[in-house]
Amino acid sequence: MFDDLDNLDGHLSEDAAFGLMRELEQNRSEEIRKQRAHFRIAIKARITMQSGNASELLNYKVQGTTGDISERGLGAIFPIAPRVGDIYRLAFNPEDITLPLTFARCVRCRLVQEGAYDSGFVFFSAIALPENVAANSAVL
Segment 25-75, tens digit of pLDDT: 565 555 555 545 456 788 888 999 999 888 887 888 999 999 889 989 999
Instruction: Give yes or no: residues 82 and 131 share one domain.
Output: yes
Instruction: Give yes or no: residues 52 and 14 share one domain.
Output: no
pTM: 0.69
Instruction: Give yes or no: residues 28 and 54 share one domain.
Output: no
Q: What is the pLDDT of residue 14?
A: 61
pLDDT per residue as tens digits for the range 8-30: 445 556 666 566 556 655 655 55
Percentage of the chain modeled with pLDDT above 90: 39
Q: How confident is the model at residue 91 (pLDDT cuts 50, 70, 90)?
A: very high
Q: What is the pLDDT of residue 12?
A: 52
Region 77-102: mean pLDDT is 93
Q: What is the pLDDT of residue 132?
A: 60
Instruction: Give yes or no: residues 26 and 47 share one domain.
Output: no
Instruction: Give yes or no: residues 48 and 10 share one domain.
Output: no
Instruction: Give yes or no: residues 50 and 114 share one domain.
Output: yes
The torsion angle over the Cα atoms of residues 122, 128, 132 and 135, rounded to 10 degrees, is 70
Q: What is the pLDDT of residue 43?
A: 84
Question: For 86-126, where are the alpha helices, taking DSSP H only?
Answer: none
The total of structural domains in the chain comes to 2
Q: Which residues contact 42 (CB under 8 A, 6 or more apart)?
A: 67, 68, 137, 138, 139, 140
Instruction: Give yes or no: residues 81 and 122 share one domain.
Output: yes
Instruction: Give yes or no: residues 19 and 71 share one domain.
Output: no
CB atoms near residue 68 (< 10 Å) = 19
Q: Which domain holds residue 1?
A: 1-35
